[in-house]
Structure 1
Amino acid sequence: MKVLELYSGIGGMHFAFEESGIEGCISMAAEINPIANEVYKYNFPDTDLSGRNIQGLTPDVINKMNINLILMSPPCQPFTRNGNFGDDEDPRSDSFIHILSMIKDLKDLNYILIENVKGFEKSNTRNFLKKTLEEANFTYQEFILSPLQFGIPNSRHRYYCLAKKNSLESDFTPNVIKTNLNIDTAEPFPLKDILEENIVVNDYELQEKQLCKYIKVLDICYKDSNRSCCFTKAYGRYLDGTGSVFCPISEETANNILKEAKNTGVSIENLKRLQLRYFTPKEISRLMCFPEKFNFPPSITTKQRYRLLGNSINIKVVSLLIRLLINNSLESIKS
């Protein structure tokens, strides 16, 4: 299996392909973000990584590599509120539309996996994707999935599309897929399983101004919590809607402190007793199922790490989808 990894970021699709157990290799990865490329190269020094614009790729270039599988997570901004829902009018969609326009000309391509933000399924770009796949004789199935459905304590709803050449055997009916992927059958593990030991708490604690301003909207998690909110690229800079924060004391004690603060008025002395802090980049990478061997180069700042992780994928979810796409059998998925 020869794989082309587009919008490769920090290597999420690469790790997912490795975890899938499918025999093959990443023939080439492509990503225009130089900071993401620094992280990718740090973890995969032997992979051919292109930093050029994906719109520079042509069918001839891809056909020379005999690519069988394309893995890609195109820019999500055109399909989000923050991106003003620009959709196919947003220039950040141009490279993805360019790739789609080439699919019919890729002679060895049999499989495609696409990941994007929830909301993509309502876009004009998605409609173009469907039309393209149908015209190129691909069978496809779309999903909205969250890691919580796979026993991972993190909510991160994402759009996925699996596509396979019509000439290949496939069964993408919803019941078969739900059974094969064991969706909604596992209880999420507690967050204590992903916590780092011996961290410098001062590096991650919430500041006094943040506590006073955002205490009413914070999503607070504890050691025994088996859920957390989606972490976005703005985590660490903004607090409202960017991800959960961690409280090391018991949930009961914390609730009493919060109740007291509500009754007597918010005081910084009370709030500081909660010892609230951000989850570390390593903890977030574990929630996203990156392997322990994954690391950032020392030159990458904490702010950059949060941003890069917020743009990445959940490794376990994608690895299972890759196995389903390629193997298409219950036994191979469950092994």
Structure 2
Amino acid sequence: MIGIEIFSGVGGMSLGASMAGVKIAMAIEIDKDAAATFKKNHPDVNVIVSDIKDIETIDVPVNENQQKILMGGPPCQGFSKSNVKGRNVNNQKNWLFQEYLRITELWRPDWFVLENVQGLVETEKGLFLNKILEGFKKLGYTVNYKVLNAKNFGVPQNRERLFIVGSLHNEEFEFPEPKFIDNFITVEDAFTDLPDLVNGNGDTELKYKEGKNSEYSLLLKGDLKSIKNNAVSRNSETVINRYQYIHEGGNWKDIPIELMETYKDVTRCHTGIYHRLNRKKPSVVIGNYRKNMLIHPWQERGLSVREAARLQSFPDNFNFVGTINSQQQQVGNAVPPLLAKAVFESIIKNNK
């Protein structure tokens, strides 16, 4: 099975598909840094840096006995439950799924996988979801969709995502069953062997902690002896002082009100702001974790790029490039590879 990914970002979905046995031939991404990260980690893939609207041909050689699969996640911020202003028909990015449909018609893959946030199901009372489903059906695809939670598939993160899977040949498809129900991978499992860092830590390569491993950390580190992407945003003394009052699992409400004087109306703070991760549970969603100021469970600082990548299930040999802000956004936007792997394994299983 040969695949291409559009709206690819750094290629979390491609990585999961590769783990399942799909050969990735092409990726299309408009952001230069994300595309550079994709290319660094998938050197054999033809990575095209372009607006999807400018793509008029798909030049991927395919053998007669080789099935084609299209994958990708159109921009999802407009469907997020936290984006009150953007969850409507006037947000032009909410209509980029039409480009996914156009590429599907252009390439005619045997299968497609479209990923997005769970909020797409509810936005405008399901208008966008219905248009997407109707669009694929008009192109001749049998379509299934389901919301999956990454924590049920070995990812240490409580991250719900919508997957829409379609077959051109009316082939049966069943979504993967949860493998983790009560025995979730935790933040502690993800961080146990990672080096201690300080506020504003530079992007230096560091050694792992010796003898501090979990099954999950061993899975992601492989044979590596040291680890990259340890950059941490530098927060002000005022912000760091607030951190010390927040218990694991707590948020800004734990901070004394007199320390929040920089906020015009502290009561309007989102509950996700200043959230300290609980080491004994999966993480909350790793989205814009710098802006939300997610806090390390037992250190007084924000998360490093690598820690966030661990919570997304990226292996440690997957390296991110660009500025620290760009790397943080790249990680937060990605599809967790282990979640994607489970979906593609089900497609391949149903395809035998």
TM more than 0.5: yes
Question: What residue in structure 2 maps to residue 169 of structure 1?
Answer: 171
CA displacement at 1:157 relative to structure 2: 1.2
Question: What residue in structure 2 maps to residue 31 of structure 1?
Answer: 29
CA displacement at 1:186 relative to structure 2: 5.3
Question: What residue in structure 2 maps to residue 294 of structure 1?
Answer: 318
Question: What residue in structure 2 maps to residue 181 of structure 1?
Answer: 177
AA of the residue aligned to 2:46: D
CA displacement at 1:285 relative to structure 2: 0.8
AA of the residue aligned to 1:324: S
1:276 aligns with 2:284: no
Question: What residue in structure 2 maps to residue 320 of structure 1?
Answer: 342
AA of the residue aligned to 1:125: F
Residues 64/278 of structure 1: CA separation in 2 closer, same or farther (3 Å cut):
closer
Tell me the TM-score normalized by structure 1: 0.76
CA displacement at 1:86 relative to structure 2: 4.8
Secondary structure of the structure 1 residue equivalent to 2:142? strand
1:136-185 residue CA offsets vs partner (Å, 9 max, x unmatched) = 221221111222222433111111111112x343043xxxx4xx433553
CA displacement at 1:87 relative to structure 2: 4.5
**CA distance in 2: counterparts of 1:88 and 1:97, whole angstroms:** 13
Alignment of 1:30-49 (within 5 A): 30-49=28-47
Secondary structure of the structure 2 residue equivalent to 1:278? coil
Secondary structure of the structure 1 residue equivalent to 2:116? strand
Residues 43/104 of structure 1: CA separation in 2 closer, same or farther (3 Å cut):
closer
CA displacement at 1:314 relative to structure 2: 0.9
1:134 aligns with 2:117: no
Question: What residue in structure 2 maps to residue 76 of structure 1?
Answer: 76
Question: What residue in structure 1 maps to residue 5 of structure 2?
Answer: 5
CA displacement at 1:94 relative to structure 2: 4.5
**CA distance in 2: counterparts of 1:197 and 1:98, whole angstroms:** 40
Alignment of 1:58-137 (within 5 A): 58=56, 61-62=57-58, 65-66=61-62, 68-80=68-80, 81-82=82-83, 84-107=85-108, 109-123=109-123, 124-137=127-140
**CA distance in 1: counterparts of 2:128 and 2:89, whole angstroms:** 6
**CA distance in 2: counterparts of 1:219 and 1:103, whole angstroms:** 40
CA displacement at 1:63 relative to structure 2: 6.8
CA displacement at 1:192 relative to structure 2: 2.6
Residues 290/197 of structure 1: CA separation in 2 closer, same or farther (3 Å cut):
closer
Question: What residue in structure 2 maps to residue 236 of structure 1?
Answer: 290
My pick for the range that moved more, 275-284 or 7-16, is 275-284
Residues 118/171 of structure 1: CA separation in 2 closer, same or farther (3 Å cut):
closer
More helix by share: 1
Question: What residue in structure 2 maps to residue 56 of structure 1?
Answer: 54
- Which of these residues, 261, 277, 281, is aligned with residue 221 of structure 1? 277
CA RMSD of aligned residues (A): 2.6
Residues 280/87 of structure 1: CA separation in 2 closer, same or farther (3 Å cut):
same
CA displacement at 1:303 relative to structure 2: 2.2
- Which of these residues, 328, 335, 340, is aligned with residue 306 of structure 1? 328
How many residues align? The count is 284
CA contact (8 A) 1:150 1:186 kept: no
AA of the residue aligned to 2:86: F
Q: In percent, how many aligned pairs have the same letter?
A: 21
1:226-249 residue CA offsets vs partner (Å, 9 max, x unmatched) = 22111112x22333xxxx42232x
Gaps of at least 5 residues in structure 1 are 249-274
CA contact (8 A) 1:37 1:51 kept: yes
Alignment of 1:145-160 (within 5 A): 145-160=148-163
Question: What residue in structure 2 maps to residue 262 of structure 1?
Answer: none
AA of the residue aligned to 1:38: A
My pick for the range that moved more, 309-318 or 190-199, is 190-199
CA contact (8 A) 2:152 2:179 kept: yes
- Which of these residues, 291, 296, 303, is aligned with residue 246 of structure 1? 296
Residues 222/127 of structure 1: CA separation in 2 closer, same or farther (3 Å cut):
closer
CA contact (8 A) 1:17 1:322 kept: yes
**CA distance in 2: counterparts of 1:43 and 1:128, whole angstroms:** 34
CA displacement at 1:305 relative to structure 2: 1.6
Gaps of at least 5 residues in structure 2 are 201-231, 244-251, 255-270
CA displacement at 1:99 relative to structure 2: 2.8
Secondary structure of the structure 1 residue equivalent to 2:199? helix
- Which of these residues, 186, 197, 201, is aligned with residue 200 of structure 1? 197
CA displacement at 1:65 relative to structure 2: 4.4
AA of the residue aligned to 1:238: N
